[in-house]
Amino acid sequence: MVKLMTEQDMLELNTVTNVDEDAQEGKYLTFSLGKEAYGIEIRNVTEIIGIQHVTKLPDTPPFVKGVINLRGKVIPVLDVRLRFDLKERKYDDRTCIIVVNIRNMSVGLIVDTVSEVLDVPFKNIEAPPKIKNCSGNRYILGLGKVGSQVMIILDSHKLLFGDEVEQIADAIV
Amino acid sequence: MPDAEQQELLLAFVEEGNELLDETEPLLIELESRANESGEIDYEILNMIFRLFHSLKGGSSFLDLLTVQGVTHEAETLLDLFRKCSREIHRETIDLLTRTCDFLRQLLGNIQSHFTDEGFDDEAEKIIIALKAQIAAISGEGDSGQEATPMATDSKRRKTVRGDGEKAGIPTPDALTQNDVPETFHFAITPEIVKQFVAESEDLLSSAEESFLRLDKMPDDMEHIDEAFRALHSFKGNAGFLGYEDLEKLSHQAETILDKIRTQELESSKEIFSLLLNVLDCLRTGISQVAGGKEIVLPAAKTAIAAMHSVLKAISPSAQSPVDKQLVAEQSKEKHGQQKMTSGTMETDETGAAEATSEPIALPGLKSSGAQQTGAERHSIRVDVEKLGALLELVGELVIAEAMVAQNPDLRNVKTSLDNFEKASLHLNKITRDLQDISTSIRMIPLSGTFRRMIRLVRDLAQKTGKKVDLIITGENTEVDKTVIEQIADPLVHLIRNAIDHGLSTPEKRKTFGKSETGQLVLGAKHVGGEVWISIIDDGQGLSREMILRNAVARDLVKGSGAELTNDEVWRLVFEPGFSTAEQVTDVSGRGVGLDVVKRNIENIRGKIDIVSKPGKGTEVILRIPLTLAIIDGMIIRVGSSRYIIPIISIVETLRPNFQEITVTMDGHEILNVRGNLCPVVRLHEFYNLEPSSTELTEGIVILVENAGKRFGLFVDELVGQQQVVIKGLSEFVGNIKAISGCTIMGDGRVCLIVDIAALADLFFNGYQTEAALPEPLEEKM
């Protein structure tokens, strides 16, 4: 129960703190891994680029694929599939890198395809159901209902930094 | 808390103050050693010190820093006493003044963090009392035994200054290393001082001019009168110090006029200001003559002075008379003055033109104020370091972008001739390289500041340890990157401490060895290839192999007896954390911290340390530092499909091993016999977990690298080429990566990682195992 509260709190926190700054409020960039649709808050996204040569980094977790050259800046890229412990898939010409900027750090997220930007009103977002032993849940900010479809809204902070954020959140609670 | 503007002023003052103190300390010591040698005070140095304290005082009073002001004022008074009567200068005085410098530094530090110099009343009082006591003692002496009148010494001094000023063109190589010929003042007016004077004067005159021009429009603006007065006053002071009498006289007159206006004795008017502007022009001519290394010839000065005189005369009798009358008198006199002045201008112009034909360099000054800057140009500006950093980064990116365009793979598909493109691209390439060279050189500053700080250190240490030390500084004008300067100050302090504390012996001991009583310490810098070598050489007892080994074994830094280690490896042990051979922990050194700091700092800037030591003869420590931190020469190598860069500085040689040269131990370690030297081999593909083209040593290339005196081989598939690369940091997101120091972007736009040889060696020799693949020992190392 505590955890559920935390996430809801955080969701509210995010929405409350960004009311002023954002016309992008409630807008999500959707992408897909396999047949599932995911969304991340558009305000964290700086650009979307096609897949390009990735230089492998030794000695990093498998989901850190390496670094790329983004117009003279070297940024790390993560494979979101591997982050979620999904099966790896060969990159093709629909594979995209979503560049997000969080805590002043640019990081690329490798996804199967990028679809569109959707408006999801706050009332259409539900907290994820609490199911036992489901570790993937920690990346989920909420489930957004778009028509008859359901989109998994991701917490981009946790996507990048994993449990670290959770620990901080726990510490606050 | 003061407002932002005030804070900025304070910070600027702190920066300037520290610079001034940096200059002062070596001068004090120079003054002392001169006095010891010849028994006389070197007035040039004394004057310079006086001037430095004076500047500090001026700044502090402007900013209401009362403590600083109080202390500097007393110090100045003390120095002034020495200027006025030729007293002998004692060690206590120098000690006191150096202590004063320390205290001032402390104050500056406080200002920097808290924007105030309050809260040091006790210390300040102590220092001031001590200074006052000295002043009292000296002036007491001076009264009884004063010989030559101050005036006499003064004018004598002037003469020597002028004499020296004239031959200032002759370079005085390194005043600090010349301790012979004490009777000539070769430390007197160096070309640098003249240069500084010229630059400063240009500023002062410009600001005075600006004020005059404003005043020309609104003659009653007191603020501008004050400003002009201040500028002229400072100029007068400087000119006086350097013995430029004509300039001093002229500015003095102008100052007097301004003062009269200030006190309302003289009505300000357009005429007066154009007269003053004329004076400024005159001064400018003088300055450009100084800058050109010529005698000051100011034919216009006399007329200008006469004109000013008449203006002043006009008011003195009528000063108390009714206002109306005064005004009338003044106006008529002013007209007179103006006439004279115009004739003055004519004259200058004429002579200017006449002389310009014979001496075109010195005199273009008079014709237009724009062209006159030839000699008296500003030589430097202060720039935010961040801006420089940003510039450098952009240039780095430009270099990469240029390569990406010129070597673009698309060009290969072009069917038509690329001649024109190649010409243009070559041109672009040249400009880019030039731009890169210049922008890196911007961040380069000479080592002199850092080196000079050591003079003080050496003196203090010599006193503390009771040893006699001659410090010789060479190559202080060698320029290195700013970051290097910051990183090198601490190591130098530690190395010098060690050299004096452990290296040099006491005078008695030295005598028994048949050496001169005074030990020699050479601090030098020079360019060697793409590196700067900074060496600290002492002629002391040298490092003792036995003692180092005994200590290293006792501290578990060496396994076994260490007898098999080479001298070089033994010397390196002193840089291990916790190492110390000093039997006793002294005030100066011996706690075993210090030299490992040296190693760390030097490695931070990708430098290396070489030690040469001969028992009984001395020790030489050479810090080899790359010229710039942003760009390295790299060897691009390939392992499987990955490319890595190895800094060329670490590479000894590359070779393709023969079958017979390889020995494999039971652990699976491969040892390569390179002409008798046995080197272990690191397989880069195993280290980085890559898929190599070949796993046979004989089919690839072994790159022999050296780190901290240890040689080992790196097995790779192929050498791709050699290239200058711009270093970029990896994202914070991925943190520190095993033995990778950074990355760069290659011509084809791909990212290439740079191997950190030092870290790799550390992992390989101390923490890395081929098979067991232990979980990251790196983290505890960092």
Q: Using one digit for the tens of pLDDT, what is the confidence trace for B510-523?
A: 888 888 888 889 99
Q: Give whichever of B70-84, B194-208, B331-345, B703-717 has the largest mean pLDDT.
A: B703-717
**Tokens at residue B711, please?**
């040689």
Average pLDDT over residues A97-124: 89
Say how far apart CA B629 and CA B437 lie, in whole Å.
Answer: 13
Question: How large is the average pLDDT for residues B366-387?
Answer: 57
* A137 interfaces chain B, CB cutoff of 8 Å: no
Decide if B645 touches A, using CB distance below 8 A. Answer: no
Residue B772, judged by CB atoms within 10 A of its CB (0-12, 13-18, 19+), counts as: exposed
How much is the average pLDDT of B676-699?
86
* Residues in a beta bridge with B620: B537, B612
Residue B131: φ, ψ to 5°: -60, -45
Query: What pLDDT band is residue A163 in, cutting at 50, 70 and 90?
Result: low
The answer to whether the beta carbons of residues B53 and B76 sit under 8 Å apart is: yes
Q: Where are the alpha helices (DSSP H) in B190-298?
A: 191-217, 222-242, 245-262, 270-291
Q: Return phi, psi of residue B717, to 5°.
A: -75, -45
Residue B759 scores a pLDDT above 60: yes
- pLDDT value at residue A103: 82
* Average pLDDT rounded to a whole number, residues B756-760: 83
How would you write B653-687 as a 3-class SS string?
EEECCCHHHEEECCCCCEEEEECCEEEEEEEHHHH
Cα–Cα nearest to B764, from B742, B738, B736, B741: B738
In chain B, the percentage of residues whose pLDDT exceeds 70 is: 79
Which tokens is B89 given? 């200068």
Q: Is the pLDDT of residue A110 over 90?
A: yes
Residues A67/A57, Cβ–Cβ less than 8 Å: yes
Q: Which backbone phi and psi does B525 adopt, to 5 degrees?
A: -140, 145
Name the strand (E) or helix (H) holding A49: strand A45-50
In sequence order, the β-bridge partners of residue B470 are B520
pTM above 0.80, yes or no: no
Which chain A residues are closer than 8 Å to B638 by Cβ?
none
Which value does ipTM take for this structure?
0.76
Contacts of B129 (CB under 8 A, 6+ apart): none
For residue B756, the model assigns a pLDDT of: 85
Q: Which of B679, B681, B491, B526 is nearest to B603 (CA)?
A: B491
Distances in whole angstroms, Cα of residue B177 to Cα of each of A127, B469, B766: 78, 13, 45
What would the two tokens of residue B416 be? 């038509």
Average pLDDT over residues B190-212: 77
CB contact under 8 A, B750 and A55: yes
Q: How many CA atoms lie within 13 A of B427 on its CB side?
A: 6
Residue B3, φ and ψ in degrees, nearest 5? -70, 175
Which residues of chain B are within 8 Å of residue A67 when distances are taken between CB atoms?
730-731, 734, 743, 751
- Does an H or E element contain B134, and which? helix B121-145
The pLDDT value given to residue A29: 92
Which residues neighbour B609 within 8 Å (Cβ) at sequence distance 6 or greater? B572, B575, B598, B599, B602, B621, B622, B623, B624
User: Hey, which of A90-99, B233-242, B708-717 has the most confident mean pLDDT?
Assistant: A90-99
Contact between A55 and B733 using a beta-carbon 8 Å cutoff: no
Question: Taking a C-beta distance cutoff of 8 angstroms, is the pair B629, B484 a contact?
Answer: yes
Q: How far apart are CA A79 and CA A88, in angstroms?
A: 9
Q: Which of B401, B642, B731 sits opposite A56 (nearest CB)?
A: B642
Q: Which amino acid is at B255?
A: E
Q: Please name the residues in contact with B701: beta carbons below 8 A apart, sequence gap of 6 or more.
A: B637, B654, B655, B656, B715, B716, B717, B718, B719
CB contacts < 8 A (A, B): 66
pLDDT in tens, B262-300: 777 777 777 777 788 888 888 888 888 777 777 777 777
**Which residues of chain B make contact with A108, given a CB cutoff of 8 A?**
none
B583: its two tokens: 């039997």
Q: Which residue has the higher pLDDT, B781 or B700?
A: B700
Angle at alpha carbon of residue B170, lines to B167 and B173, rounded to 5°: 135
- Tell me the pairing of strands B677-683 and B670-674: antiparallel
Query: What is the model's pLDDT at position B583?
Result: 52
Question: Bigger pLDDT: B637 or B350?
Answer: B637
The confidence band for B529, taking pLDDT boundaries of 50, 70 and 90, is low
Nearest to B83 by CA among B26, B161, B196: B161
Determine the residue of chain A that is closest to B644 in CA distance.
Answer: A55
A123: its two tokens = 């009332």
3-class SS string, B398-467: HHHHHHHHHCCHHHHHCCCCCHHHHHHHHHHHHHHHHHHHHHHHHCEEECHHHHHHHHHHHHHHHHHHCC
Highest mean pLDDT among B191-195, B535-539, B598-602, B733-737 belongs to: B535-539
| C-alpha distance from B764 to closest chain A C-alpha (Å) | 15
Tens of pLDDT, residues B112-144: 888 777 777 788 888 888 888 888 877 765 444
Q: What is the pLDDT of residue B317?
A: 52
Whether residue B689 and residue A72 make contact (CB cut-off 8 A), yes or no, is no
Residue of B nearest to A65 (CA): B734
Q: Which of B256-260, B334-338, B426-430, B488-492 has the highest mean pLDDT?
A: B426-430
Question: What is the pLDDT of chain A when averaged over all its residues?
Answer: 78
Parallel, antiparallel or unpaired: strands B469-474 and B519-528: parallel
Q: Which residue of A has its CA nearest to B750?
A: A69
Q: Which of A58, A69, A76 sits opposite B731 (nearest CB)?
A: A76
The minimal CB distance from B743 to the residues A59, A60, A74 is found for A74
Long-range own/partner contacts, residues B770-774 (CB < 8 A, 24 or more apart): B770/B667, B770/B668, B770/B669, B770/B683, B770/B686, B771/B668
- Helix ranges restricted to H, B714-775: 757-762
Contacts of B733 in chain A (CB under 8 A): 76, 105, 107, 160
Lowest mean pLDDT among B207-211, B255-259, B336-340: B336-340
Q: What is the pLDDT of residue B768?
A: 45
H or E element at residue B342: helix B323-358
A102 interfacial to chain B (CB closer than 8 Å) = no
Residue B660 has pLDDT above 80, yes or no: yes
**Is 50 exceeded by the pLDDT of residue B207?**
yes
Give the containing element (helix H, strand E) for B488. helix B482-498
The number of helices, as runs of H, and strands, as runs of E, in chain A is 4, 11
Cα(B472)–Cα(B488) distance, integer angstroms: 18
Considering only the beta carbons, identify the residue of B401, B737, B745 that sits closest to A74. Answer: B745
Q: pLDDT tens across B617-631, in order?
A: 888 898 988 776 667
Distance (Å) of CA B235 to CA B17, B84, B203, B244 = 20, 22, 10, 11
Residue A59, helix vs strand vs coil: coil
Q: Is A62 helix (H, G, I), strand (E, B) or coil?
A: coil
Helix, strand counts (H, E) of chain B: 23, 18
Q: Across the strands, what pairs with B726? A: B631
Say which residue, A54 or B377, is predicted with more confidence: A54
- On average, the pLDDT of chain B sits at 74
How would residue B581 be classed by pLDDT, with cut points 50, 70 and 90? Answer: low
Which range in B302-311, B398-407, B412-421, B564-573 is most confidently predicted, on average pLDDT? B412-421
Q: Is B738 on the interface with A (CB under 8 A)?
A: yes
B745 to chain A, closest Cα gap in Å: 7
Closest residue by Cα to residue B397 from B749, B71, B139, B694: B749
Residue A100 has a pLDDT of 92
Identity of the highest mean pLDDT range in A156-170, B238-252, B378-392, B506-520: B506-520
- Residue B407's pLDDT band, with cuts at 50, 70 and 90, is confident
In chain B, pLDDT over 90 holds for what percent of residues? 5
Backbone phi and psi for residue B89, each to the nearest 5 degrees, phi listed first: -100, 130
d(CA B176, CA B27) in angstroms, rounded, equals 9
Q: How far apart are CA B549 and CA B563, in angstroms?
A: 8
Nearest residue, CB atoms, B731 vs list A58, A59, A74: A74
pLDDT in tens, A49-99: 988 889 988 888 888 999 998 877 889 999 999 888 888 888 888 899 999
Residue A106 in contact with partner chain B when CB distance is under 8 A: yes
Q: Determine the distance from the C-alpha atom of residue B217 to the mean position of all C-alpha atoms in its chain, rounded to a whole number.
A: 43
The per-residue pLDDT for B646 is: 92
The three-state secondary structure class of B772 is coil
A136 — pLDDT class (breaks 50, 70, 90):
low
Q: In chain A, what are the domains?
A: 7-172 (2.40.50.180)
